[in-house]
Amino acid sequence: DGGITQSPKYLFRKEGQNVTLSCEQNLNHDAMYWYRQDPGQGLRLIYYSQIVNDFQKGDIAEGYSVSREKKESFPLTVTSAQKNPTAFYLCASSIAPGANEQYFGPGTRLTVT
Amino acid sequence: AQKVTQAQTEISVVEKEDVTLDCVYETRDTTYYLFWYKQPPSGELVFLIRRNSFDEQNEISGRYSWNFQKSTSSFNFTITASQVVDSAVYFCALSDMTLVILTGTASKLTFGTGTRLQVTL
């Protein structure tokens, strides 16, 4: 089945630790995105990537880092510099950059204590 | 700057009632796309519809229908004869296209804060 996988579904970390969230897609999509969702708020864009080895900051990139070494994979690292990392993180992809619909993974709920 | 407003935070209806979810947007672009997504309790966003700014024709897909009115900057979503399985959070989103067309960069979606729909028996 084609789709986007994110693992793990739930993640717990201690404050001060970096943590990497996985996102893999087998849709052969060029563009990939990371969003953060907080209770009662819409999704906010963290980073996006149009092609391999390229990525751009979104609206709330501070404290996060990404890489795009393979077309299928777009991992997100939440660093200790992110002041409020507890949130629901959603990865998405679209067939190409542009106004194409984005398809989302199941999300990872990160809790930092 | 783009903005999407979903003023209804929560709506509760009884099954088989019709319900309309409101979406009002702001943009300076003349070329843009509007989207609706559904987020069931599992958390994954499900794409429902995309509409470009030049196409104001209403669309119907089964029990779902969408009313796009540029004059009022609205893109409302109606569920007819609601069912319990419709219970979810629904998001409206906007993507400006001018920068994409000029620079070839990826479009960015601006989401509203969502409307939680609860359908009960």
Residue B97 Rama label (left phi>0; alpha psi -120 to 50; beta): alpha
User: What is the largest distance, in Å, between two alpha-carbon atoms of chain A?
Assistant: 38
Q: Which of B33, B45, B46 sits opposite A99 (nearest CB)?
A: B33
CB contact under 8 A, B45 and A104: yes
Task: Check residue B9 and give its pLDDT.
Answer: 96
Helix (H) or strand (E) holding B98: helix B98-103
Task: Check residue B101 and give its pLDDT.
Answer: 67
Q: Looking at the complex, does the CB of residue B103 fall below 8 Å from at least one CB of chain A?
A: no
The structure tokens listed for B14 are 């009884």
Task: Check residue B2 and give its pLDDT.
Answer: 85
Q: How far apart are CA A38 and CA B120, in angstroms?
A: 26
Most A CBs within 10 Å: which of B109, B111, B115, B116, as the mutation test of the A interface? B109
Q: Is residue B55 very low, low, confident or very high in pLDDT (cuts 50, 70, 90)?
A: confident
CB contact under 8 A, A97 and B106: yes
B62: Cβ contacts below 8 Å, ≥ 6 apart: none
Q: Under a CB-based contact definition with an 8 Å cutoff, are residues B53 and B31 in contact?
A: yes
Give the residue among A77, A79, A35, A31 at the shortest CA–CA distance from A58: A35
Q: Is residue B12 very low, low, confident or very high in pLDDT (cuts 50, 70, 90)?
A: very high
Q: Which of A97, A105, A106 sits opposite B105 (nearest CB)?
A: A97
CB contact under 8 A, A99 and B108: no
Q: Looking at the complex, does the CB of residue B95 fall below 8 Å from at least one CB of chain A?
A: yes
The structure tokens listed for B84 are 């319990």
Question: For B35, which residue in chain A has the nearest alpha carbon?
Answer: A101
Q: Looking at the complex, does the CB of residue A60 fall below 8 Å from at least one CB of chain B?
A: no
Q: How far apart are CA B101 and CA B97, in angstroms?
A: 6
pLDDT one-digit tens code per residue, B67-119: 999 999 999 999 999 999 999 999 999 987 766 666 666 677 899 999 999 99
pLDDT one-digit tens code per residue, B23-35: 999 998 888 899 9
Nearest CA distance, B14 vs chain A (angstrom): 23
CB contact under 8 A, B106 and A92: no
Q: Looking at the complex, does the CB of residue A88 fall below 8 Å from at least one CB of chain B?
A: yes
